[in-house]
Amino acid sequence: MWFPIPHQPDGLEIIGEREGVSPCSLFELLHNPNAVEWKEKVGVAAPADGSAKTTARLLQSGKWVFKTDLSRKANDKTALRNWLQQLADLAVWAEFWHPEKVWFLMKEGQGWLPMSVCPRLTTIRSVGEWDARIRWWTRMIVMGLEISKEHSIGLDLNPSNFAFDDPFSDKLYYLDDEFYTQHDCFDIAEAVVSRIPEEPTVSSEKWRQWGVQLQGAVQPFCQKQGNWRYFLDGIRHYPLPEAMKTQRNALIEGLEGQTDSPSSSRDVGIQRQSLQYKMTCIFSDVHANLPAFEAVLKEAAKMDVDSYLFLGDIVSYGPFPRQCIERLAELQHIECIRGNHDHTAGSGIPEDGSNRMAREVDMWTHNQLTQAEREWLLALPVEHLSAPWLAVHGAPQDPNRFYAYVYELTYGDNLSYLERHHFSVCFYGHTHVQFVYRRLANGKDEKARLNVLTLFRPQERMLINPGSVGQPRDGDPRAAFALWNREKNEVTFHRVSYPIAITVNAIMKEGLPEDFIYRLEVGR
């Protein structure tokens, strides 16, 4: 037999406890007369075929796939058992393998082989459609970054090593049993650019498309000084044939955000003019609520606003995503930050941990947007640094900048972050609640009143949330924003009514969840 099978059930030793799995059940699967040896998937390199090494052995039995490696055969099973036990223990707290995967030892002649069995899944390598393929590639890269960051483990970032069971989910599983030291940005760059030689017929435009998607996914993990440049250098210097450098350059263009704006008349990306502004409108969380957005802009114009600071989430939840993007793009003298919903709607990759309604409306929004609008969202930075202040969507201490919340249990740590990094003020959004946390010069923390705040007092730190334009959650359904008088270094907080009925009717027309209507009406 090409795939080794046991002679007796007692020649199998399961590692760890798995409900419903026994040596007898594994023995029956291995002796299934309809089982198929996957010889064609071993020792090949073509993308659709697989890329397993020549000593690997694969067997499909019903919905299960067995795997072993002949090169790991050992006479003493102690070392093998310890290795497999390490994998089983790791699987408990680092959930990157399929939850039904089982490791076991099998007696083979005078020695022992390490074995695993897992439900049959669809590998990324077998995905044919380009948009779906790059979506899974991006998810693979993000998963590798997440595991590396959280557990200091490096996965083998090759599409043959990752698979899924639901093409409409974003859940990905690691197939290999090997892991390595923690990845750095250069490792990730190699995993990205090495896709090019495997896809020699893919056009430069498609590589640029993937670059844009990757920028939004990878950049949040490259926040330390020089990390993003180090990642791009890895892309540039990876050895490729001369004929593939055009594809590499297109990938880099996408990664560097060299994209067309959704506005046909001008580049509406981040503007970092050195002009001295006097009155800045600070706003956040528009969430595709155009009537609320227009009401805030109209009210701000009455107050002689000459600049804007937008803290993220222009889209999702509401029925006017394209109109709100275009309106934001038209504003002069603006700094924009990417929010978590901008990120998800732009990339089309659902956010881990988000609820069902949020995932559905994010995907609905993604499908409403043009490719140029998606790319524009993903080109927005995740933070704005302008010492002695900074701006993020979520929380300053969050490496991703747009997932974590500033609230009762975290504001102290975030104020300490400002202190350590010598920032006096952080403007943030995400919670949809107008709020201020302050650390006084004497070290005491307090929740400041929403009246006139004076910024940049010696030794003081502030976390300032202007509230939500399009979906307030503080019990006041009116659109919220703040004004920063830069001449006086004062911030004031404002609310303005808007025709909620227009948004409500549009939500109903688009078939979005009615729960969003209730939230708008009660401000919760």
Q: Report residue 48's pLDDT band, with 50, 70 and 90 as the boundaries.
A: low
Distance of CA 449 to the CA centre of its chain: 35
pLDDT at 271 (0 to 100) = 36
Interior CA angle at 498 toward 495 and 500, to 5°?
Answer: 125
- Give residue-wise pLDDT tens across range 296-320: 999 999 999 999 999 999 999 999 9
Q: What is the pLDDT of residues 419-470, one digit of tens each?
A: 988 899 999 999 999 999 999 999 999 988 888 999 999 999 999 999 999 9
The string of pLDDT tens digits covering residues 448-461 is: 888 899 999 999 99
* Dist. CA 306–CA 137, nearest whole Å: 42
Mind listing the pLDDT tens digit for each residue in 65-106? 999 999 999 999 999 999 999 999 999 888 899 999 999 999
DSSP assignment letter at 188: H
Q: CA 29, 35, 41: angle at the middle one, nearest 5?
A: 120
| Amino acid in position 438 | R
Cβ atoms of 231 and 158 within 8 Å: the answer is no
The sheet carrying 122-123 orders its strands as 122-123, 162-164, 173-174
pLDDT-wise least confident of 33-37, 38-42, 97-101, 502-506: 38-42
Q: Which segment, 179-188, 341-350, 471-480, is predicted with the most confidence on average?
A: 471-480
Name residues whose C-beta falls within 8 Å of residue 457's C-beta, 6 or more positions apart in sequence: 424, 441
As given in the structure block, the two tokens for residue 71 are: 């090169």
DSSP string, 457-515: -TT-EEEEEE--SSS--SS--SEEEEEEETTTTEEEEEEE---HHHHHHHHHHHT--TH
- pLDDT band of 275, cuts 50, 70, 90: very low
Cα–Cα dist 501/176, whole Å:
54
Confidence (pLDDT) at 177 = 92
In whole angstroms, give the CA distance from residue 483 to residue 310. 12
Look over the chain and give the mean of its residue pLDDT values, rounded to a whole number: 89
- Which residue shows structure tokens 């956010």? 351
DSSP letter assigned to residue 55: T
Which pairs count as long-range contacts for 38-44, CB under 8 Å and 24+ apart, including other chains? Answer: 38/65, 39/2
Three-state SS across 103-154?
EEEEEECCEEEEEEEEECCEEHHHCCCHHHHHHHHHHHHHHHHHHHHHHCCE
pLDDT 10s digits, 124-141: 999 989 999 999 999 999
- What is the per-residue pLDDT for 401? 84
Q: Phi/psi of residue 57, each to 5°?
A: -135, 130
Please determine, for residue 44, whether its predicted confidence score (pLDDT) is greater than 80. no
Q: What's the pLDDT at 467?
A: 96
* Cα–Cα separations (whole angstroms), residue 3 to 26, 70, 81: 14, 10, 21
Per-residue pLDDT tens over the stretch 356-385: 888 899 999 999 999 989 989 988 988 888
Return the exposure string of 36-56: e unless at least 16 CB atoms fall within 10 Å of the residue's CB, then b: eebeebbeeeebeebbbeeeb
CA distance 380 to 118: 40
Local confidence band at 265 (pLDDT 50, 70, 90 cut-offs): very low
- Give the count of alpha carbons within 13 A of 325, CB side only: 30
DSSP H or E segment with residue 303: none
**% of the chain at pLDDT higher than 90:** 66
Is 273's pLDDT higher than 50?
no
pLDDT average, residue stretch 232-245:
88
Give the separation between CA 397 and CA 409, rounded to whole angstroms.
13
Quote the radius of gyration of the chain (alpha carbons, Å). 27
User: What is the arithmetic mean of pLDDT over 331-336?
Assistant: 92
CB 367 within 8 A of CB 156: no
The phi, psi pair for 470, rounded to 5°, reads -100, -10
Over residues 319-338, the mean pLDDT reads: 94
Q: In the numeric block, which tokens belong to residue 77?
A: 């099973």
**Cis link prior to 9 (omega < 30° from 0)?**
no
CA distances from 31 to 27, 109, 117, 214, 249 (A): 6, 17, 14, 45, 52
Per-residue pLDDT reduced to its tens digit, 192-235 = 999 999 999 999 999 999 999 998 888 888 766 567 877 888 89
Band the pLDDT of 397: cuts 50, 70, 90.
confident
> Of all residues in the chain, what percent are helix, strand and coil, respectively (each to 5)?
40, 20, 45
The residues near 208 (Cβ < 8 Å, ≥ 6 apart) are 250, 251, 253, 254
Element (H, E) at 61: strand 56-61
